Amino acid sequence: MITGYKKFKFDKIKYLDGVKSLLLKELKKISKNKKINFANYHTHIKNEQHQLIQWKLAKYFREKKLHIVCFEGIRGFLYRYFGQSILIQKKPFLRIARPFMPEDNIGLHKDTIYGQSPYEMSIHIPLMNLGKKSCLKFVKNSHLINDKKIEFIKSKTFVKKGSKQHKLGKPYEPKKIKPNKYNEKPLPLKYGEFVFFSPAIIHGQEMNLDKNSTRFSFDVRVSSKFFPVEFNLKKHNGSYIEFSKSPIDILAKRYFDNQ
Ligand SMILES: [Fe+2]
């Protein structure tokens, strides 16, 4: 973990399997298409339909709190890293990156530059195997680079603050980091694996270069209730809900309730 990111495996894959099949069922329903799956998504969905479908699917994901279901499968892992009073992002991001569509990606970035605390860790979970061409890239030890010294590329965006695109996880003021400057390396993942990483790590992808497969993944922020983060000030996609509570936390609260 010293390099700022690490690959892990689900302890109990059945929770991820359950979420995956619910999402696939919903995708078939929304698109009214029985032949569609995650990988062949781009061959069935026209560009003009894409945004609405992603919106509906992301909404379904959030309303059913599928990230909480999924996190059941890594509860032991979470306890080891955060203790038992765990907060998770209320509205996680469901990402869909079609082949050769740069607008489906947010490029290389550091989430601390967007205001995320280094105490708010991220978990990236793919819903399929991701090879070298379709996976995200990460820069080892980039949490040690001063955020103020990072080199950006100038980029324009039409994403408006509070818009659907913004709520789907695209920044309205993108601060894209120059590719090939910091030695980013692809991190292929098998289904059932996930990446646990610091928001200070340079990560992302310019474009999904796998012509045969759309990438479906989601990412969730996780923290401890006792980490020095101003959770009450978080808004938009940054707010948290409780995932679990330590027995001591419960005991102490009960004491204070009676004083
Ligand atoms: Fe990110």
Going from N- to C-terminal start, the domains of the chain cover: 5-257
pLDDT of res. 28: 98
In the reported structure, the alpha carbon of residue 198 is separated from the centroid of ligand 1 by a whole-number distance in angstroms of 9
Q: Please tell me the distance from the alpha carbon of residue 84 to that of residue 37, in angstroms, as a whole number.
A: 36
In the reported structure, the alpha carbon of residue 109 is separated from the centroid of ligand 1 by a whole-number distance in angstroms of 6
In the reported structure, the alpha carbon of residue 28 is separated from the centroid of ligand 1 by a whole-number distance in angstroms of 28
Q: Are the C-beta atoms of 112 and 217 separated by less than 8 Å?
A: no
3-state secondary structure 154-219: CCCCCCCCCCHHHHCCCCCCCCCECCCCCCCEECCECECEEEEECCCCCEECCCECCCCCCEEEEE
Q: Please tell me the distance from the alpha carbon of residue 66 to that of residue 68, in angstroms, as a whole number.
A: 5
In the reported structure, the alpha carbon of residue 4 is separated from the centroid of ligand 1 by a whole-number distance in angstroms of 13
Token pair listed for 252: 């102490």
In the reported structure, the alpha carbon of residue 40 is separated from the centroid of ligand 1 by a whole-number distance in angstroms of 25
pLDDT of res. 170: 82
Query: How many of the other CB atoms lie within 10 Å of CB of 115?
Result: 11
Taking residues 162-171, report their average pLDDT.
Answer: 83
Residue 154 has pLDDT above 90, yes or no: no
Taking residues 152-164, report their average pLDDT.
Answer: 80
pTM: 0.95
CATH architecture designation of domain 5-257: Sandwich (2.60)
In the reported structure, the alpha carbon of residue 205 is separated from the centroid of ligand 1 by a whole-number distance in angstroms of 10
Residue showing tokens 């990483």: 197
In the reported structure, the alpha carbon of residue 146 is separated from the centroid of ligand 1 by a whole-number distance in angstroms of 17
Q: Please tell me the distance from the alpha carbon of residue 212 to that of residue 99, in angstroms, as a whole number.
A: 7
Token pair listed for 139: 């820069």
Confidence class for position 237, pLDDT limits 50, 70, 90: confident
Residue 241 has pLDDT above 90, yes or no: yes
pLDDT of res. 157: 74
pLDDT of res. 199: 97
In the reported structure, the alpha carbon of residue 35 is separated from the centroid of ligand 1 by a whole-number distance in angstroms of 31
Taking residues 217-225, report their average pLDDT.
Answer: 97
| Length of the chain, in residues | 259
In the reported structure, the alpha carbon of residue 170 is separated from the centroid of ligand 1 by a whole-number distance in angstroms of 10
In the reported structure, the alpha carbon of residue 248 is separated from the centroid of ligand 1 by a whole-number distance in angstroms of 33
Q: Which of helix, strand or coil describes residue 61?
A: helix
Q: Please tell me the distance from the alpha carbon of residue 122 to that of residue 198, in angstroms, as a whole number.
A: 6
Confidence class for position 151, pLDDT limits 50, 70, 90: confident
Q: Please tell me the distance from the alpha carbon of residue 69 to that of residue 84, in angstroms, as a whole number.
A: 17
pLDDT of res. 106: 87
